[in-house]
Homo-oligomer: A and B are copies of this chain.
């Protein structure tokens, strides 16, 4: 088995994503609004791990004329999460973070010093997880893994 670690790459372009979103909305009798589009756009363009509050802040900054309310951000995130278009992460502190889920599966390594989240995928672990799950008599649905440590940058930049 070829075990290796690689960084994940975005596999979906924005046009496709937007299209999926529109389709999803239509399929459920929901409407495509500017606010919803902007939220998706920000999730796509930003660092991918945003809190509802952070997302709202970014939107206010880039599209202040919309006066988007935080409630709409929450509502849209729930909608996207229920539709599996975004995934929520709840690491350390309180408050979830959201990331687009339309990308390849990946795990996270979080720097406990600067908070940066790096993504990775390791085939050996992926494979082993499946084995373990079966050994325990479970049918696997999802899994997530987080590693906490100090990133290269913070190791040198003595804090």
Q: Which residues of A contact B (CB under 8 A)?
A: 3, 5, 90-92, 109, 111-112, 118, 120, 122, 124-125, 128-129, 131-133, 135-152, 155
Q: How far is the CB of A152 from chain B (nearest CB, A)?
A: 4
Are A128 and B124 touching (Cβ within 8 A)?
yes
Which of B124, B133, B146, B151 contacts A147 (CB under 8 A)? B133
| Alpha-carbon gap, A147 to B136, bound state (A) | 11
- What are 6 inter-chain pairs, A to B, with CB distance below 8 A? A109-B132, A124-B128, A128-B128, A139-B149, A141-B149, A141-B150
| Contact present for B125 and A151 (CB under 8 Å) | no
From B128, B141, B152, give the contact of A122 (CB < 8 A).
B128
